[in-house]
Chain A
Amino acid sequence: MKLTGAQIVIQSLIKEGVNIIFGLPGGAIIDVYDALYDSPIKHILVRHEQAAIHAADGYARATGRVGVAMVTSGPGATNTVTGLATAYMDSIPIVVFTGQVPTKLIGNDAFQEADIVGITRPCTKHNFLVKDVNELAKTIKEAFYIAGSGRPGPVLIDLPKDVQQAKAEFEYPKEVRLAGYNPKYKAHIGQVKKAAQLIASARRPVIYAGGGVIYSKGANEELRRLAEGFSMPVTNTLMGLGGFPGDHPLWLGMLGMHGTYRANMAVIHCDVLIGIGARFDDRVTGKLEEFAPDAKIVHIDIDPASISKNVIVDVPIVGDCRDALLKLNQALSNINIDWEDKHRDWLEQIEEWKKEHVLSYSQPEGGPLKPQYVIEKLYELTKGKAIVSTEVGQNQMWTAQYYKFDRPRTFLTSGGLGTMGYGFPAAIGAQAAFPEKLVIDIAGDGSIQMNIQELATAVSYRLPVKVAILNNGYLGMVRQWQQLFYRGRYSQTSLEYSPDFVKLAEAYGAVGLRATKPDEVEATIKDALSKDVPVFIDFVIEREENVYPMVPAGAPLSHMLLV
């Protein structure tokens, strides 16, 4: 039997095992929405297309599956760009369908036409314009495969209206064959052995693990074996948090611009650095020439282009983290060394650094509320078991520092693009995937207003996301830079006129709570956690609290400002 293109889209999604999508309809995608109407797929209607993409992204990060979003042509499509770029920078697998004007009108400046394939070429892993309904099922199959395999990423499919209406025989391909795309998962054993030799020769090794450990299923367990089995300390990137237990004695904390003193010191002084699924980002390396100056570098990454991009690597290993780590653990255990003894001095040195400086703050009793205290309380009261998303800025860094993640896929944050407005819709996406789990967005008062309209979505689908707003009345992270590097000239960073977040939540039919003093924090959080509805908590915090340590942008890691 022949199906319309619109029906083929829905049937293909079913074949892909998709049971939930995020989107907002319009004239150019109305046919697919019509086919969706009596399908078993659940659709979450957002209030802005950017949020649909972030929600699909949050869903993907929390589950490890491909997230799906659907929007109309023109403005609907252009509203997806920030979401796509966010997912692209962090290697998140999503498939986005955009409506398009009929093929005959493409290029004519037709009503609500945008060249979305052209616009999104540099911020998608791949994209397609489907011009022939007979190619549709194959294209969708390829899109899901490309999004989810190798180094994951967003894929966009542009669907002209006439293709949605045309009919074709539906047969979903079983396999994908793409001549130009063959991700390599298996690590080369020769390279692994070289890495093992190098590690065996090290006196001061450090493991630097990133997002790749999160995205490679089961890699976190192999990472743990690597660290414990061979007595090596681990630091994580922002994207790697949760890839190694945050309360483990071998864990150094996050490294980089807002990393811990001991993590950065360990990187500065190590003689072998083992990079695993991390991309040597400038927020991590600081001044490149002085990054890990004494170290030979091993780098495991599935994307050859990540290797030796910023930092020249001594032993590259292309492949999936889990496979490479399995082999590396095997190779190392064949080497007869008393690892604990060999690394004892080094671990003692790291303990010394820990004594010299740890993350700290002081919460004066009855004094102004400290954001770090709020996050520590959130950690304590959720027993570290929540899925936590963040917005961008100080709220994000304090979360990274004070919430200790111990499992992959529990921390959702926009690291590469740094997209304010990401956290709330991402939390909605994660909550939609896991209705029973506790999902919290830790937000700033600036960022939350970038997708605050999604309160309506959370309320209408009863997605009981908790939003903890660290309300400092500033675009805090920018204000911090102005204070430290621009002589305190607070140009356009004060948010004097914000809504009353409690009333605002109530206006949407959610619950609004507020805490202004330290002794209110615990009760307020407990109150929020006891409610099975979306809750906004307005934590009115010390206005000019800063995130420390901080390595000024472009400076070497050794130039940490501690305070």
Chain B
Amino acid sequence: MRHTISLLVENIPGVLARVAGLFSGRGFNIESLCVAETIDPKISRITLVTNGDEQIIEQIKKQLNKLINIIKVVDLSEIESVEREMALIKVRAAPEHRAEILRIVDIFRGKVVDVSPDYYTVEITGDANKLQAFIELLRHFRIKEIARTGTVALPRARKAFKEKGEE
């Protein structure tokens, strides 16, 4: 099963190496990994996507929890969450295909961020399924390069206001 795990970690050198080393040393998979500061500059968030059976995911979480510099481990696959990934895709844009590419980009609410005589570079955001569908469609026109960010995710906020009669 695919799991998205969110880590709050101390923002100090070597933490990423500890996380990566744990995965390689114990033979766990990392599908993608994203790191950036949170609003507290002393803390970073690492979002990683991994897969494995229940026992392996359980071990991954426990082992991550053991790392001294990791403050919090949350398995976002166990709770309601939003996930997004961004990709930049450089696709061949022959004159006869330009209109069609733009239409697809529009349908997927992407954006053309760079234009050259032969290529469009397109920006797209969404969950993994949407990106995959988009990429499949563009593949038709010959994709030259792709850069993907990997998944970032947050738990959904609890409802701010309780409706009457709730609880």
Report the separation of the CA atoms of residues A303 and B63 in the bound assembly, to the nearest whole angstrom.
10
Pick from B10, B58, B59: contact of A180, CB under 8 Å: B10
For the complex formed, measure the closest distance between the CB of B40 and the CB atoms of chain A, giving whole angstroms: 11
Give chain B interface residues in 39-83, CB to chain A under 8 Å.
Answer: 55, 58-59, 62-63, 65-72
Q: Is the CB of A180 within 8 A of B71?
A: yes
Q: Is the CB of A178 within 8 A of B68?
A: yes
Pick from A122, A179, A304, A305: contact of B21, CB under 8 Å: A122
Report the separation of the CA atoms of residues A278 and B70 in the bound assembly, to the nearest whole angstrom.
25
A118 at the interface (CB under 8 A from B): yes
A412 at the interface (CB under 8 A from B): no
A81 at the interface (CB under 8 A from B): no
| Nearest opposing residue in chain B for A178, CB measure | B68
Q: Which residues of A contact B58 (CB under 8 A)?
A: 308
For the complex formed, measure the closest distance between the CB of A312 and the CB atoms of chain B, giving whole angstroms: 7
Q: Is the CB of B55 within 8 A of A308?
A: yes
Q: Which residues of A contact B70 (CB under 8 A)?
A: 180
Q: Which residues of B contact A121 (CB under 8 A)?
A: 14, 17-18, 21
A126 at the interface (CB under 8 A from B): yes
Q: Is the CB of A305 within 8 A of B63?
A: yes
Report the separation of the CA atoms of residues A121 and B18 in the bound assembly, to the nearest whole angstrom.
7
B25 at the interface (CB under 8 A from A): yes
Of the candidates A117, A179, A180, the one having the most CB atoms from chain B within 10 angstroms of its own CB is A180
Pick from A117, A179, A308, A312: contact of B14, CB under 8 Å: A117
Of the candidates B18, B55, B63, B66, the one having the most CB atoms from chain A within 10 angstroms of its own CB is B66
Known contacts A305-B66, A312-B55: A179-B17 contact under CB 8 Å: no
- Interface 1/0 per residue, B13-24 and A, CB below 8 Å: 110011001000
A181 at the interface (CB under 8 A from B): yes
For the complex formed, measure the closest distance between the CB of B36 and the CB atoms of chain A, giving whole angstroms: 18
For the complex formed, measure the closest distance between the CB of A135 and the CB atoms of chain B, giving whole angstroms: 11
For the complex formed, measure the closest distance between the CB of A318 and the CB atoms of chain B, giving whole angstroms: 10
Report the separation of the CA atoms of residues A180 and B8 in the bound assembly, to the nearest whole angstrom.
9
Give chain B interface residues in 104-128, CB to chain A under 8 Å.
Answer: none
| Nearest opposing residue in chain A for B64, CB measure | A305
A309 at the interface (CB under 8 A from B): yes
Pick from B10, B55, B62, B71: contact of A304, CB under 8 Å: B62
Pick from B18, B55, B71: contact of A179, CB under 8 Å: B71
Q: Is the CB of A180 within 8 A of B68?
A: yes
A219 at the interface (CB under 8 A from B): no
Of the candidates A129, A146, A179, A303, the one having the most CB atoms from chain B within 10 angstroms of its own CB is A179
Report the separation of the CA atoms of residues A305 and B61 in the bound assembly, to the nearest whole angstrom.
9
| Nearest opposing residue in chain B for A307, CB measure | B62
Measured as residues with beta carbon below 8 angstroms from the partner, the interface class of chain B is 20 to 34
Q: Is the CB of B68 within 8 A of A181?
A: yes
Q: Which residues of A contact B65 (CB under 8 A)?
A: 304-305
Report the separation of the CA atoms of residues A180 and B68 in the bound assembly, to the nearest whole angstrom.
5
Q: Is the CB of B55 within 8 A of A180?
A: no
Report the separation of the CA atoms of residues A305 and B21 in the bound assembly, to the nearest whole angstrom.
17
Report the separation of the CA atoms of residues A303 and B10 in the bound assembly, to the nearest whole angstrom.
22
- Interface 1/0 per residue, A120-144 and B, CB below 8 Å: 0110011001000000000000000
- Interface 1/0 per residue, A412-442 and B, CB below 8 Å: 0000000000000000000000000000000
Pick from B10, B25, B69: contact of A122, CB under 8 Å: B25
Report the separation of the CA atoms of residues A251 and B63 in the bound assembly, to the nearest whole angstrom.
34
For the complex formed, measure the closest distance between the CB of B111 and the CB atoms of chain A, giving whole angstroms: 39
Report the separation of the CA atoms of residues A315 and B77 in the bound assembly, to the nearest whole angstrom.
25
Q: Which residues of B contact A118 (CB under 8 A)?
A: 17
Q: Is the CB of B62 within 8 A of A305?
A: yes
For the complex formed, measure the closest distance between the CB of B106 and the CB atoms of chain A, giving whole angstroms: 45
Report the separation of the CA atoms of residues A117 and B10 in the bound assembly, to the nearest whole angstrom.
17
Report the separation of the CA atoms of residues A429 and B23 in the bound assembly, to the nearest whole angstrom.
35
- Interface 1/0 per residue, A265-309 and B, CB below 8 Å: 000000000000000000000000000000000000001110011
Known contacts A121-B21, A122-B25, A305-B62: A146-B14 contact under CB 8 Å: no
For the complex formed, measure the closest distance between the CB of A417 and the CB atoms of chain B, giving whole angstroms: 15
Report the separation of the CA atoms of residues A121 and B26 in the bound assembly, to the nearest whole angstrom.
13
For the complex formed, measure the closest distance between the CB of A490 and the CB atoms of chain B, giving whole angstroms: 34
For the complex formed, measure the closest distance between the CB of B74 and the CB atoms of chain A, giving whole angstroms: 13
Report the separation of the CA atoms of residues A122 and B66 in the bound assembly, to the nearest whole angstrom.
12
For the complex formed, measure the closest distance between the CB of A171 and the CB atoms of chain B, giving whole angstroms: 22
| Nearest opposing residue in chain B for A125, CB measure | B68
Q: Which residues of B contact A179 (CB under 8 A)?
A: 10, 71
Q: Is the CB of A309 within 8 A of B59?
A: yes
Report the separation of the CA atoms of residues A312 and B54 in the bound assembly, to the nearest whole angstrom.
11
- Interface 1/0 per residue, A140-183 and B, CB below 8 Å: 00000010000000000000000000000000000000111100
Report the separation of the CA atoms of residues A122 and B14 in the bound assembly, to the nearest whole angstrom.
12
| Nearest opposing residue in chain B for A309, CB measure | B59
| Nearest opposing residue in chain A for B73, CB measure | A180
For the complex formed, measure the closest distance between the CB of A183 and the CB atoms of chain B, giving whole angstroms: 10
Q: Which residues of B contact A180 (CB under 8 A)?
A: 9-10, 67-72
| Nearest opposing residue in chain A for B58, CB measure | A308
For the complex formed, measure the closest distance between the CB of A142 and the CB atoms of chain B, giving whole angstroms: 8
Q: Which residues of B contact A126 (CB under 8 A)?
A: 68
Q: Is the CB of A303 within 8 A of B68?
A: no
Report the separation of the CA atoms of residues A303 and B70 in the bound assembly, to the nearest whole angstrom.
16
Q: Which residues of B contact A305 (CB under 8 A)?
A: 59, 62-63, 65-66
| Nearest opposing residue in chain B for A153, CB measure | B66
Q: Which residues of A contact B21 (CB under 8 A)?
A: 121-122
Report the separation of the CA atoms of residues A323 and B58 in the bound assembly, to the nearest whole angstrom.
25
Known: A121-B18, A122-B21, A180-B10. 7 other contacts (CB 8 A): A121-B14, A121-B17, A129-B14, A178-B68, A179-B71, A305-B59, A305-B62
**Could you list 24 A-B pairs, sorted by A, with CB under 8 Å?**
A121-B14, A121-B18, A122-B21, A122-B25, A125-B68, A129-B13, A129-B14, A178-B68, A179-B10, A180-B9, A180-B10, A180-B67, A180-B68, A180-B69, A180-B70, A180-B71, A180-B72, A181-B68, A303-B66, A304-B62, A304-B65, A305-B63, A308-B55, A312-B55
A contact residues vs B (CB 8 Å cutoff): 117-118, 121-122, 125-126, 129, 146, 178-181, 303-305, 308-309, 312
3 closest A-B pairs by beta carbon, nearest first, are: A305-B62, A180-B71, A126-B68
